[in-house]
A and B are shown apart, each in its own frame.
Chain A
Amino acid sequence: MKAIVNISLKAGVLDSQGKAVHHALNSLNFDGVEDVRVAKQIILKLDTADKAQAMLDVTKMCEELLANTVIEDYEIELV
């Protein structure tokens, strides 16, 4: 099983990279973009088939290392 973890800055925490990308898109005349948020994705290959256990484990990984919950939110998808 794979766990796909998306980590992004919390709403309310200014995303400078997103802002820079947004600005660059505007200067390329892509005017329809209202907002840009840059996130990172971490893909973990797990040796278990137990989804509930995997969710528990990956949540712990996010809390302890993968995300800094002072500034970041995380979403976990198991596939």
Chain B
Amino acid sequence: MQKPNIKVTILQFPGTNCEYDTQHAFEELGATTEIIWHKSESLPKDTNLLVIAGGFSYGDYLRSGAIAKFAPVMKAVTHYASEGGKVLGICNGFQVLTEAGLLPGALKRNESLHFISKHHHLRVVNNDNVFLEKLANDSVIHIPIAHHDGNYFIDQKGLKELKNNNQILLKYTDKNGEIQNPNGSVESIAGVCNKEKNIFGLMPHPERAMETLLGSNDGVKMLQGFMEA
């Protein structure tokens, strides 16, 4: 396969623990990667995609992502995103993006109050964006979730906007694509994007679904969307 010549920059906060999985996943797809520390005040100039990886950040004190939004690197992220740069937040990265106001809504404690770690089915709701363009609308994928605060909340007005602008990316479902809500999220939402469709956030982990041997390779088609400049 021809190397796509894509540079993926991955943020690392104290407590991030999915940066190396994310790096491995994107390198498997042919990207060049660089992990940068949260104290960095700029992003590598050749960045094509910025990923805020999963795990924890600053102990998730106060609220998940609440302290991380003030990390020195986040100013550079906000600037990069405002110029149309592509940003993907996975799990804790999604929480950081909502706390920073780069994505709408908020993530609450799971309704069951339990940490949930398992493979879950998801239905593709809107594929008119680079992240999910390799997947058909209404197709069902199966990838891992692992979170305590994954209960997506948005008020009715915000929900209406999400729907009007095709910002809902994925919903938690069963294997037939029927709603099955593991954590209490409004309308079973698992991931959203911003109105401009360059900032993406989701609780499930596509970078942990790259090998059929490990349960699923449905993450490949998701991340591949970013492999074209």
Query: Hey, which bits of chain A sit against chain B, CB under 8 A?
Result: 9, 13-14, 16-17, 20, 65-66, 68, 70-71
Query: How distant is the Cα of A70 from the Cα of B192 in the complex, in angstroms?
Result: 16
Query: How distant is the Cα of A67 from the Cα of B62 in the complex, in angstroms?
Result: 9
Query: Hey, which bits of chain B sit against chain A, CB under 8 A?
Result: 62-63, 66, 70, 98-99, 105-106, 108-113, 151, 153-155, 184
Contact assessment for A16 and B111 in the assembled complex, using a CB-CB cutoff below 8 Å: yes
On chain B, the residues within 8 Å of A14 by CB distance are 111, 184
Q: What total count of A-B pairs have CB within 8 Å?
A: 33
On chain A, the residues within 8 Å of B113 by CB distance are 16-17, 20
Contact assessment for B111 and A68 in the assembled complex, using a CB-CB cutoff below 8 Å: no
On chain A, the residues within 8 Å of B151 by CB distance are 16
Contact assessment for A17 and B109 in the assembled complex, using a CB-CB cutoff below 8 Å: yes
Contact assessment for B105 and A70 in the assembled complex, using a CB-CB cutoff below 8 Å: yes
Contact assessment for B106 and A65 in the assembled complex, using a CB-CB cutoff below 8 Å: no
Contact assessment for A65 and B184 in the assembled complex, using a CB-CB cutoff below 8 Å: no
Q: Which of B66, B106, B112 contacts A16 (CB 8 A)?
A: B112
Contact assessment for A68 and B109 in the assembled complex, using a CB-CB cutoff below 8 Å: no
Tell me whether chain A's interface is mostly helix, strand or loop, or mixed: mixed
Query: How distant is the Cα of A13 from the Cα of B108 in the complex, in angstroms?
Result: 10
Q: How far is the CB of A13 from chain B (nearest CB, A)?
A: 6
Q: How far is the CB of B58 from chain A (nearest CB, A)?
A: 12
Q: Which of A13, A20, A68 contacts B63 (CB 8 A)?
A: A68
Q: Do A66 and B112 form a contact, CB below 8 Å, given A71-B106, A71-B153?
A: no
Contact assessment for A68 and B106 in the assembled complex, using a CB-CB cutoff below 8 Å: yes
Chain A to chain B contacts (Cβ below 8 Å), 5 pairs: A13-B108, A16-B111, A16-B113, A20-B113, A71-B153
Minimal Cβ-Cβ distance residue in A for B65: A68
Contact assessment for B110 and A16 in the assembled complex, using a CB-CB cutoff below 8 Å: yes
Contact assessment for A16 and B62 in the assembled complex, using a CB-CB cutoff below 8 Å: no
Query: How distant is the Cα of A13 from the Cα of B151 in the complex, in angstroms?
Result: 11
On chain A, the residues within 8 Å of B70 by CB distance are 65
Give the 10 A-B CB pairs with smallest separation, nearest first: A70-B106, A71-B106, A16-B111, A71-B153, A68-B106, A16-B113, A68-B63, A20-B113, A16-B109, A71-B108
